[in-house]
A and B are shown apart, each in its own frame.
Chain A
Amino acid sequence: MTGGTKRDYDGNARAKSAQDLPRGRFHAMFEDFRDELDEHYDRRERIIKASRDVTAQSKKIIFTLQRVKQPNKDFPKGIQQDIDTRLGEISKLLSGITADLQSINRYRYGFSMRCLEELVEALSFSHYLRHQTLITLEETQAAVPADIVLTSHDYMYGLFDLFGEMMRFATVTTAQTGELVGDYERNILGDIQELGCAFEMLPQVPTKDFRSKMEVMRQSINKVEKLGYGLVVRGSERPKGWVPDMKDDDHRPVSPV
């Protein structure tokens, strides 16, 4: 096999010139395989690229949402705008790969489409802040700005990540307001506990992924529980109106944990 055939690297348009020199018996067969595999690899590449960008946009939506101060109100204009633009961006990215994810290919590239979990996280967090309820799979599907089927796996693993966001939100707002936020005679501590119970009741999936998500979930709940404890024990010591640095979650400005 000296030389090899010329082909254009990222295109399906391979130069099928008059074939040259010694062709093995299986040449034609392997050429077919090559075309099939190239199609698959190219598709996967497109999906991975888009997925990475969707993940980035979703994360930014989440950062923006963490700047919301009061739940159950319309989001401030700037925040709403920011979310809308990013969702528009996500819509564009996803519609670029919709065709690649139809029929049999939806699950084929499931692993490369982990961005959907991130998107579910953003959508569910936004929904929680706005309505203080848990978004359903159907509502999430409706909110996905593309014609891509959400699997229950995407939904469930996205919700796992909601715990972390609720925990961060609870930490910041508790520090700001001196109480656990929430309406309808519920607060975020009760909510995260209730949600946690619902997950604990699910049949356990024997994968490492599931177990570690459960563990992280429990830690998040635990942190919010300590917030509640802190408020009762020494809540009044905190200077009223003190606003923590919200740039990142690494600072834990609330009562010592």
Chain B
Amino acid sequence: MNDHKQSGDVCPSKRGKLNLDSVRAEIDKANGPEYWRSLEELAGNPEFQEALHREFPKGASEWVESVSRRGFLKVMGASMALAGMTGCVKLPLEPIIPYVRQPEDVIPGRPMFYASALTLGGYASPVIVESHLGRPTKIEGNPQHPASLGGTDIFAQASLLTMYDPDRSQSVTEMGDLRSWQSFVSAMRGPLNVQKALQGAGIRILTPTISSPALADQMRAFLKAYPQAKWHVWEPVNRDNVLEGAKLAFGQPVETRYDFSMADVIVSLDADFLYAGFPGNIRYIRDFAARRNPDGNMNRLYVIESGMSSTGAKADHRWGKRASEIQALARQLAENQFLNPPVGAKGIIGDIPGIAGPIVLDLNSHRGSSVVVAGDHQSPVVHALVHKINAALGNVGKTVFYTDPVDANPVNQTESIKELTADINSGKVDLLIILGGNPAYDAPADLDFANVLKSDKVPLRVHVGLYNNETAELCQWHVNQAHELETWGDARAYDGTVSIIQPLIAPLYNGKSALEFVSLLAAQENASGHDLVRDYWQKQHSGADFEQFWRNSLHDGWIEGTAFAPKSLQAKSENFSPAPTADPSAIEINIRRDPTIYDGQFSNNGWLQELPKPMNKLTWDNAIQLGPKMAERLQIASKDVLELEFNGKTVKGAAWIQAGLPDNSITVTLGYGRTRAGRVGTGYGFNAYQLRTSAALWGATGVQIRKTGDTYNLASVQGMQSMDTPDGGHRPLVRETTLTEYRKDPNFAFDEEASPTPGLSLYKPYDYKDEAYAWGMAIDLNKCVGCNNCMLACQSENNIAVVGKEQTEIGRHMHWIRVDAYYQGDRDNPKAFFQPVPCMQCEDAPCELVCPVGATNHSSEGLNDMVYNRCVGTRYCSNNCPYKVRRFNFFLFQDWTTPQYKMMRNPDVSVRSRGVMEKCTYCIQRITEHRIDAETASVRKEIKIKDGELQTACQQSCPANAIVFGNINDPESQVSKLKAKSLNYSLLGDLGTRPRTTYLAEVRNPNPELES
């Protein structure tokens, strides 16, 4: 009884156990109530009686007693805590499995990083993928890998979105009906067995370019099992000309690799080697940019090109020439190379007066330290001539290297698909397997591949692909392929180095990789991609500790010692019979890969669709580009709809007048006019493949142009591509000079007005000197090659929405960093400049002053912070921002419902809603993360974030190292050193905004002989 009394007020679970004996005794002796609620009641327990007659539990009466503040707080605190706990104990309906033991490395909230690779046209782009609790969220370059050194290209960045694309094919289908993988396997068994007897004579496999050793091995195993089967290759953006050129020059297919870090003089003959899609471009940009230091050993770039490329924009000398004229120039260079001393006088050489001479002189004075590059779309003869020139200059082995081809099956792809079509038409093919790619859309128009598929000449057609695209529609079976981020595999980078492709996530839609698919065909059994890759490399590995080797390779992202060794080859000294020259009066058409959606495989990728093309800043469409002279002659304005007729096919597209294009030449890009791309990509632009024949993949003459009188809206994101204002003024937005001038006046970029008199402001300036950090950024315009990579890196890192063509057209795109492109001078041969513009993080920010609710504020580290939750959306800040870097959510631009996109987003960055302003934050989530790391690592010790360990997303992925971010309070930081240079200037500094982002003025290194 005493026990009970003492424990009367404690909670029941803590109360002492009921003393059953005493209860029994009580029950026996007492005539308790007939119905009882508990043993206590039955036993007439006094506490129970009390509780029964008190309305409230005991402690409750304390309320009416003189209130003890402490008691009040205790109860309040407890109820708050309990209220919170109700939230915690809500369990999901589905069974969940807790960590019994937490996986060793996983810290929830902290990302993991895995090395992998992504391929484009067979070439691997080595990457590090950031993964948040098993969801890949960001792609970075692999800093250890020689082909990346930390940079990426736009296609690698954007492949994340492709992986999560809800429009990707999600199931095996037969004639459009959903099927299981098993039913496909059993459906294939019969036909394969039939073919087995025929040694596979009726089997054709069509793949894109494959560099994967493991997949090539599987293909060969398959061909061994079916010796009569054939492996065809078709990649619309192929390198046939390069291959044929190498065969001409060396009698064998070789890969050419360049070392631009050693090149003092570079001559590009229509080669866009500083842009994504050119094999090795990431490394080339790094090497090239490293030599654009006006205080160091600056290189010189000559570009003679048929289009207007970002490589041309970086050139010290650029000429726009019709593609067919370039051969003559290559020949002249080649011939003059052997003259000693070469013909140097101006005006002597050929039909391009004054050009070849000085170039030859320049090349000759840089023997062994120069490079001549030919574009992939130039004829084999040009490539052969270029091999000869490089050999004559002694560049081979110094700046130019020849290696085995990266392509595992280096055949002439045009011939290959022609042969396939011929075989189909003659009824030789019983089973056609299209392993990736989209030939019904992108095969040469004269083959009419779509109709060949449709004609049922091949009884059984199987398509394996990421999308249920134009080709899938024409095949009975479609197998949904897994994305490279979901599968095991391997691939070679431009130098031959093999990267193992690691899956970051299980296939979202249970797709199969090409490797798994081929192994199924070859062995008729399911094998996991992991085992296939691992087994292949186990066979290749000669050393003992394979496990260590394997782990190292996965960890580093590449396999040691797989880079191809340079070959020593002698170019033939013949003169290579000239390719037929074109009629100079006929209009030439150039067909090129698209700068953002490539050959059409990225059509459904909103990031790439909305990424402005580097030179014309168009989004969502391709255009018929023509030079100003030609447009004037034909009375064509931008956005006029033109009809092109070529080889009996007609195509309608919108015109775009592009400065720098030669006369009598038009350029169109591939990849648009898709009919089955998905919700994002279907219907935009026109299909240039219809003009593309197997005889003239990259262009020909004889195209007819007609004006239709209609206009078509093109969405260009840049208002004006000139620094000159229409009233004849000039704004020094990009400051530039020549190397000679710079040496005479190193302070040319300095602007007196840009340093406002101190004390003019009403508000006392904040003293950042006492802070640990003051963040700042310097962007080196010498290095920026306009590759747009920063834009996509930012989009991915900061969960930036895609808004669609209609919104982009009226200027509502959301990019936090943009790359402005300006032209200057003669429109037919302009100088061009790139200027990446993120938020300037002004110290005297005009936006902060005008926000009525204080949603944009300055931090003690000098950041101009945006508080989304506080923003009511007056847009006053954007109006008052002279740099127009603020972006507004005019609608609910973000997709808040699609589950795939939810998985894709960076959990460290809030997803903005409708009616809110947003802008570049200098990746504040990264700053915070590093600050936490630095502070937790050094409890009570003054350890700061080290210079260089904290990188913004744009900086991290910049292949050119043009963006440097850091602490400007630390005079030793890289950014402080750059800002101390005489080239440093503030954009619109005369407004007194005191931007934290500054630019290093551009210095060009023109040939003094050509200058005069």
A and B associate in one complex = no
Chain A positions within 8 Å of B, measured between CB atoms, are: none
